[in-house]
Structure 1
Amino acid sequence: MYPWLIPDWQALSQSAVAGRLGHAWLLLGEAGLGKEQLAERLARLHLCHHPQQGEPCGHCHACQLADKGNHPDLCIIPGDSKTIGVDAVRELGSRLQRSAQLGHGKVVIIPDAERMTEAAANALLKTLEEPAGDSLLLLIASQISRLLPTIRSRCHKHVCHIPPEPVTLNWLAEQGHPATQAQVRICQGAPLRVLDYLAQQQDKARQDLLGGFVQLSQEPTRITALCSLLGQETQTRLHWLQLLLCDALKTQAGCGHQQLAMPDLAGLSHALAEGHSSERLLDAEQRLVSLKEACQPGQLSNPTIHLMNWLSQWL
């Protein structure tokens, strides 16, 4: 178990031992915290034939099947598609209605539950309203606002918090991936997100994108190339832009380098702060927040138009 999740696991395990687990949980927190690990551990505890002090025994037939990834009463929705459709959710409901093959209940895990379409969410709502037998639904989400209020109200909720920066930095160093404070902040403190950032060597992409943005006012012909860069991994790159604009506003307010989200790019923040008014930076940042929301996966058929509009307004 990831070290920062141990307190979360202890709280969930205690609920299970006390018989307060209920039939549905919503595990919340930033992407990159490893909430899936919590859900899988809780599923194993629920299905285990001989749990010991709030832990799955690891030796019974149910635990052995779970270790091999083929427990017949455990279903995990794949996380590789942009959306979760109504047919997939209806199939889950049908599976939950059947008798448990090993006699210790059934568990469904839905990673990134905010991917559900409206029809899928309504279908899940019916399952939540009429839970079948000893079933347990575990929904994992990073953006609770994108879930129906009726779904949120029918689930117990557990929020996983970002670990302190030293915890993240020490863990990454132990994994052989030393990181900087700036890299941790760029990834909003989520350790697994930092690990992915380092593995993909994204520092250069970030520096190129943000350097090009700062130069855009002097070289407007860069706009097409910059828009193309934003079209790749859009949410991540819009987040970098937002951090840069916020750092420029912090610089104007007199904040030091260590108070910036990206102290390694303080020169770019300083250039924006000197070249543009606070009103312009704030307006661009607020429009960027709306743009990020509009460009969520599955929201727009052609986000490039919206990206170009934002860049054109900045010019």
Structure 2
Amino acid sequence: MYQWHEGLWQHFRLSQQQGRFHHAQLFHGPSGVGKQELAKQLAQAILCEQHQQLTACGRCKSCLLIAAQTHPDLLCIAPQGQSISVDAIRELADFVHHSAQQGGRKVAVIANAHKMTHSAANALLKTLEEPNTGRYLLLTSDDLSQLSATILSRCNKVQVTVTDPQHAQQWLQNILPQEQVFPWLTHFAHQPLKIAMWFNEGVFEKVDLLYRFACDIKASHNFNQVQGILNDHPELLEVFCVFMQQKLKAKLLEGLSYQAYSEGQAALNQFMSDTRQILGLNQSLGLNKLMNTIKNIIE
């Protein structure tokens, strides 16, 4: 268990002891805080034969089945492509209404629930409105604004965050090389798992290059490399824009006029919007336009 999850876990145990544990838990917060891991651990604790203390023993038949990813009473749903289909949610409805094979409890986990289609969300409502005893739904979401008010009202919303950056720093010390210093890590201190993913997947140096590029906009060195990174790793677009926003804010503190700052921010927002819709070589034109605008502003 991650250290920043301990407070939430104590709350779960207390609510279970008091008979207030909600059948539908919605874990929300930024990416990189371990919402999926929290949901999986809670699912295992619920299904464990020693579930009275909401602690998975790791030794019972149920825990062993989960470890082998073959537990018949645990259903995990995630987006296929860009969305979660209505068929997947109908499968969930069928799953919760059938008898459990182990211990009488069943758990369904929906990762990135905000990616459900409109039809899928409507189908889920029927299950949420008519909860069955011993049936639990655990949802995760990076963006509550994409979930309907009716779904939100039928779930116990649990915000998952890193409240103490030291917890994240201590955890990351065991993963990242200590001989190197990366100033941009502070921008993502509240998303330690995202940092770890970048390191493990070999994109750490690419993120660092995006940061150095933003810090030296006038030189615009490595333009082609930056373009290649954003083409190959579109998920890093928001990271790049965070670095650019920080550069603009730094210039504002150094005396840049608010009008110029607003112009730069508008250009950055336009670039973000266009890049999500324009593919291929046109992205290079958009990046070039953004760089020219920013350079003219800060000169």
- How big is each residue's C-alpha offset from its partner over 1:70-126, in whole Å with a ceiling of 9 and x where there is no partner? 111111114664321111111111111111122422100011112212221221122
Which of 283, 289, 296 is matched with 1:312 structurally? 289
Are the structure 2 counterparts of residues 224 and 27 from structure 1 closer, same or farther at C-alpha, using a change threshold of 3 Å? same
Determine the structure 1 residue equivalent to 2:195.
194
Q: Does 1:38 align with 2:18?
A: no
Are the structure 2 counterparts of residues 49 and 212 from structure 1 closer, same or farther at C-alpha, using a change threshold of 3 Å? closer
Measured after TM superposition, the shift of residue 192 of structure 1 is: 1.1
Q: Does 1:285 align with 2:286?
A: no
Tell me which amino acid in the other structure corresponds to 2:118.
Answer: E
Q: Is the 8 A contact 1:242 1:288 kept in 2?
A: no
Are the structure 2 counterparts of residues 295 and 91 from structure 1 closer, same or farther at C-alpha, using a change threshold of 3 Å? farther
Q: CA RMSD in A?
A: 3.3
Which stretch shifts more, 98-107 or 206-215? 206-215
SS at match of 2:51: coil
Are the structure 2 counterparts of residues 309 and 26 from structure 1 closer, same or farther at C-alpha, using a change threshold of 3 Å? same
Are the structure 2 counterparts of residues 125 and 205 from structure 1 closer, same or farther at C-alpha, using a change threshold of 3 Å? same
Determine the structure 2 residue equivalent to 1:268.
none
Determine the structure 2 residue equivalent to 1:264.
none
Are the structure 2 counterparts of residues 95 and 52 from structure 1 closer, same or farther at C-alpha, using a change threshold of 3 Å? closer
Determine the structure 2 residue equivalent to 1:137.
137
- TM-score if structure 1 supplies the norm length? 0.77
Aligned pair count reads 291
Determine the structure 1 residue equivalent to 2:207.
206
1:240-251 aligned within 5 A: 240-251=240-251
Q: What is the identity percentage for the equivalent residue pairs of Structure 1 and Structure 2?
A: 28
Q: Does 1:126 align with 2:126?
A: yes
Tell me which amino acid in the other structure corresponds to 2:185.
Answer: V
Q: Does 1:12 align with 2:15?
A: no
Are the structure 2 counterparts of residues 208 and 38 from structure 1 closer, same or farther at C-alpha, using a change threshold of 3 Å? closer
Determine the structure 2 residue equivalent to 1:3.
3
Which stretch shifts more, 167-176 or 5-14? 167-176
Distance 1:47 1:16 in 2: 14
Q: Is the 8 A contact 1:249 1:278 kept in 2?
A: no
Measured after TM superposition, the shift of residue 174 of structure 1 is: 2.8
Are the structure 2 counterparts of residues 189 and 182 from structure 1 closer, same or farther at C-alpha, using a change threshold of 3 Å? farther
Determine the structure 2 residue equivalent to 1:61.
61
Q: Is the 8 A contact 2:83 2:116 kept in 1?
A: yes
1:160-239 aligned within 5 A: 160-175=160-175, 177-178=177-178, 180=181, 182-209=183-210, 227-239=227-239
Structure 1 unaligned blocks of 5 or more: 255-272
Tell me which amino acid in the other structure corresponds to 2:140.
Answer: I
Distance 1:138 1:253 in 2: 44
- How big is each residue's C-alpha offset from its partner over 1:206-259, in whole Å with a ceiling of 9 and x where there is no partner? 35445556777787xx988755543332242333223333333234314xxxxx
Q: Is the 8 A contact 1:28 1:141 kept in 2?
A: yes
- How big is each residue's C-alpha offset from its partner over 1:119-168, in whole Å with a ceiling of 9 and x where there is no partner? 21221122212223421000011111121222111100111112433322
SS at match of 1:161: coil
Determine the structure 1 residue equivalent to 2:297.
none
Determine the structure 1 residue equivalent to 2:295.
none
Are the structure 2 counterparts of residues 230 and 50 from structure 1 closer, same or farther at C-alpha, using a change threshold of 3 Å? closer
Q: Is the 8 A contact 2:113 2:141 kept in 1?
A: yes
Are the structure 2 counterparts of residues 289 and 67 from structure 1 closer, same or farther at C-alpha, using a change threshold of 3 Å? same
1:146-157 aligned within 5 A: 146-157=146-157
Distance 2:267 2:93 in 1: 40
Which stretch shifts more, 16-25 or 201-210? 201-210
Distance 1:111 1:139 in 2: 6
- How big is each residue's C-alpha offset from its partner over 1:12-37, in whole Å with a ceiling of 9 and x where there is no partner? 22212222112201011221111222
- TM-score if structure 2 supplies the norm length? 0.81
Tell me which amino acid in the other structure corresponds to 2:54.
Answer: G
